[in-house]
Amino acid sequence: MTFIPPKPLSIQLQSCAKTFADGTRVLEPLDLNINAGETLVLLGPSGCGKTTTLRLIAGLEQPDAGGKVLFDGEDVTQQSIEARNVGMVFQSYALFPNMTVAENVGYGLRIRKLPAAEQRARVAEMLAMMRIEALADRHIDQLSGGQRQRVALARALAVRPRALLLDEPLTALDAQLRDALRVEINLLLRRLGITTIYVTHDQTEAMTLGDRIIVMSHGRVAQTGTPREIYHQPASAFVANFIGTMNRLRGEMKADGFACAAGLLRWAGAPTASSELLFRPEDVRIMAEGEAFDLAGTVAAAFFLGDRTRLFVDVGDAQPLVVESLARCTLEVGQPVRLQVDPRGLLDL
């Protein structure tokens, strides 16, 4: 492996906002600090401003007056993308239809006027790294989606960029391929140690790939943190609901716990004034006859998902609870069921 990226880059955004020509404000003033070598994921629903942020870092858009983009402390706000030396992978890959795979991968090197021999060597190295050597002379329309993705990555990395920017690179692929490529990209990024900013709306990608995740909504940052922090300590109901599934129960805090329609939840810590508690499906256990339990409910629906069974349990609240159970669970619709909730998983927001 001869690929040695240049010294990892740290990136800062200071008060970067973005308003489009027709007046829509897509990004509120944003301060961002990306550490050298880390993989940062920008996560959120469509229209939250994550792609705009990426494009500001890339140099494809300019921040509104007063915003600054810094690479290793150097102000690059006025620099256009051609000069920033970042590698970018677009959602639609943007591979050049008039060139072969090898020519695509080598395009950036051609621009930099590298000697022909070195260009060839670098291209070969990139193709080998992405395991697409056999595709070198193919044209773009002869490639499958997964192959195009690899070519796009190879092309972006060939120029030894200071940072790698990925705009929803896996969205266009089908589920099975996405799973496989997610792992591959993860290994690749760890091996390269290059500063990476990854934009996605898929939380599984975010959790798998990100050292840190920034959850965005309506042009603002909702929460910044590691995958575990985001998952277990969501800062708001939005974040809690965006990541994974969240159960909610309404009730009232009492002396011995949180009383709700179906029973009593054991609450650790200082009493909360909240009228609603949230918890993840995996923090709920199905108890057998005779065992202690917190809630009593009825099975409303049961879905066999292959590796597990997902139950929807009616507990007298507006929404049924989602409970993950063993694959070979035999509970049927209408049967009574007893649940216990781990107090460590309870959240009040």
Partner 1 sequence: MDRKKIIFTLQLGFTLAVCAFLVVPVVLSILAGLTVNYFIGLESGLTLRWVFEVWDGYRDTIFRSVGIAMACLVITLLLGVPTAYVLARSRKRLARLIEELLVLPIAMPGLATALALIATYGALGGFRTSWAFILVGHVLFTLPFMVRSVLAVLSAIDLKTLEEGAASLGAGFRQRFFDIVLPNCRNGILAGSLMVVTLSMGEFNMTWLLHTPLTKTLPVGLADAYASLRLEIGSAYTLIFFLMIVPLLLAMQTLARPRPTRFICDDAVNDPVPETQQ
Q: How many residues make contact with partner 1 (CB under 8 A)?
A: 43
Sign of CA dihedral 328, 332, 333, 338: negative
In this structure, how many other beta carbons lie within 10 angstroms of the beta carbon of residue 99? 14
Find the helix or strand (DSSP H, E) in which 338 lies: strand 336-341
Interface with partner 1, residue 85, by CB under 8 A: yes
CB of 139: closest distance to partner 1 in angstroms? 11
Query: Which candidate, 272, 64, 210, places its Cα nearest to that of 223?
Result: 210
Rounded Cα distance between 215 and 242, Å, is: 9
For residues 238 and 222, the answer to whether their CB atoms sit within 8 Å is yes
**Amino acid type, 286:** I
CB of 145: closest distance to partner 1 in angstroms? 5
Query: Which candidate, 295, 282, 276, places its Cα nearest to that of 232?
Result: 282
Stretch that binds partner 1, among 172-180, 237-245, 249-257, 335-343 (CB under 8 A): 172-180
Structure tokens at 321: 């609870």
Stretch that binds partner 1, among 63-71, 176-184, 312-320, 327-335 (CB under 8 A): 176-184
Interface with partner 1, residue 76, by CB under 8 A: no
Interface with partner 1, residue 183, by CB under 8 A: no
Mode of pairing for the β-strands spanning 25-34 and 220-225:
unpaired
C-beta closer to partner 1: residue 107 or 198: 107
Stretch that binds partner 1, among 25-33, 124-132, 200-208, 267-275 (CB under 8 A): 124-132
C-beta closer to partner 1: residue 152 or 240: 152
In the complex, the residues that contact partner 1 under the rule CB under 8 A are 58, 60, 80-83, 85-88, 90, 92, 94-98, 107-108, 111-112, 130-132, 134-135, 141-147, 150, 155-156, 159, 173-174, 176-177, 179-180
